[in-house]
Structure 1
């Protein structure tokens, strides 16, 4: 009985973890491509990609173009850093 229960728990864990990893991979590839476009002309690309990625993961959207157009994504526009300035590039 213990063996059957242990196998059941392993199968459940495998199913849950695989569906979680597929969701995160899909979200990150979306954000990687969108932030790559957004930060294409940034002076400090590494920093731009970092903050754009954080904002994209939270908001699930990135404004079009390399600058401006923040009205297209209100969540992205409204995220602020500790100093009250826009967090998202």
Structure 2
């Protein structure tokens, strides 16, 4: 009769948890995204605004330059200094 070993299952579980913790630790940090991740991150960031098209346009522009989008729907710009430092000619924040 074959004995069931918990060792492979435990190793697999630890590997999954370690991978997940690395991904969540980098969320919102400068350079943590890939170019293909920008549309999804900006979709979330702009999901509660009434000015959806301009928000998505500028968010994607900033994300492609910085590879970072702040968490949540508004604020938290300190998470992405590059994202926060992109300004308009008038000195206002360009990135939503």
Normalization by structure 1: what TM-score?
A: 0.68
Gaps of 5+ in 2: 1-33
1:56-82 per-position Cα deviation (integer Å, ceiling 9, x unaligned): 000010000000000100000111011
Normalization by structure 2: what TM-score?
A: 0.63
Distance 1:86 1:76 in 2: 9
Structure 1 stretches of 4+ with a deviation exceeding 3 A read none
Distance 1:84 1:53 in 2: 20
1:35-68 per-position Cα deviation (integer Å, ceiling 9, x unaligned): 0010000111000000000000000100000000
Distance 1:57 1:42 in 2: 21
**What's 2:87 paired with?**
80
The two structures, once aligned, show a CA RMSD in angstroms of 0.9
- Work out which of the residue numbers 26, 39, 47 in structure 2 matches 1:32: 39
Paired positions, count: 63
**What's 1:46 paired with?**
53
Gaps of 5+ in 1: 1-25
Higher normalized contact order (CA 8 Å, seq sep 6+, divided by chain length): 2
Name the SS for the 1:58 alignment partner. Answer: helix
